[in-house]
Amino acid sequence: MRAFVEVNLKAIANNIALVRSKTPSQILAVVKADAYGHGLVPVAKCAVDSGANWLGVALLEEALTLRESGIKAPIISWLTPPSSDFKLAIQSNIDLSIPSLKHLELIVAASKAVGQRARVHIEIDTGMTRGGLLGEWEEFLIAIKGADVEVIGFWSHFARADEPGQIANQNQLNEFESKLAQLQEIGINPKYIHFANSAATLTNPISHKDIVRLGISMYGLTPDINTLGSSIDLDLEPVMTLKAELQLVKRVPAGSAVGYGATEKTARDTKLAIVAMGYADGIPRSTSNKAGVFVGGAKAPIIGRVSMDQFVVDLGPDSNAQTGDIAEVFGVFGYSVDDWASAAGTINYEIVTRIAARVPRIYA
């Protein structure tokens, strides 16, 4: 197989169990973006089987796919542009986030059209300045009081939860509590209050409320390696391993220019290997000359530029790797997801979610 992702479902179960041991709150497994590149339906089913009470997605089509797969657990979809099929969402028993008056109007209209009350979660902007109600809040309070919807939840999102000492986190919580009190004053009492993402779940118990939302931590990755430490430091078990076949191994002399632009030359007589993955598969071109693979019992750094379908690594003159061997691009033995993220100047979230659909997922 040219390249493939191994997804360790037992690791997902272990990461959920770890969080379960730290909080009495219900657990919402975030499976948006094809479960962070791990595979939407298999991961969602594993999460529910492992004790997750809820599933969370960004897009309505993701939620519908989960329903079509037979999953019955509560699902919330929180990124639904006005053009979304709210009627189908309501008929499919999918909870919807309300970030604006416009959304409330559309969802109420859809609810009336299908003859079924919509289940909604009110999203408030507490300082992220992204999604959620802000300037419309007072007007929204009037509108929601007379709206024929079932208010299931009230929620917001931290901007800096991966920086536990930041006063901004407490400021957001204070704003959240203030807006919740105003909602309760008009007689609306959401059943579920939720705020904590992975970082807050791991570091800020006061933010846990009724539900915690597990995203990156469920996949065994740290929310921020610089401020919170590595997966190992957090007792998380990485779920994804990326592997690829060596298309070719060959000896080359010292001074050989490698790849487009001849940006690198071999410093010695050595063995090079062509790894059968490239930026079309999600390998960042920005990792050229910076990351590498583990093969033949040793690390082999990238030499030259990453191409669309392949990149070259320097095995060293004494490597026993051969054409057809399987290299670990990232995983537990050589380079980690965080190593690749550092090499690319990005975060681990991006590394795993960008692995292309043409790379098959294998579940164990």
Residues marked as catalytic: 32, 260
Q: What distance in Å separates the CA atoms of residue 49 and residue 58, rounded to the nearest whole number?
A: 21
220: tokens are 């065994």
**8 A C-beta contact, residue 227 and residue 198:** no
- How many other C-beta atoms can be found within 10 angstroms of the C-beta atom of residue 79? 14
The DSSP result for 186-203, as a single string, is TT---SEEE---HHHHHH
> Which class for 73: exposed (0-12), middle (13-18), buried (19 or more C-beta within 10 A)?
middle
Q: What distance in Å separates the CA atoms of residue 202 and residue 196, rounded to the nearest whole number?
A: 9
**8 A C-beta contact, residue 258 and residue 304:** yes
Q: What distance in Å separates the CA atoms of residue 271 and residue 321, rounded to the nearest whole number?
A: 9
Which neighbouring-strand residues pair with 302? 313
**8 A C-beta contact, residue 119 and residue 92:** no
Residue ranges of E strands in the chain: 3-7, 26-30, 54-57, 75-77, 95-98, 119-123, 150-155, 192-194, 211-214, 240-252, 257-258, 264-265, 270-275, 292-295, 298-301, 311-314, 326-330, 361-363
Pairing of strands 119-123, 95-98: parallel
**8 A C-beta contact, residue 334 and residue 294:** yes
Which neighbouring-strand residues pair with 95? 76
**8 A C-beta contact, residue 257 and residue 264:** yes
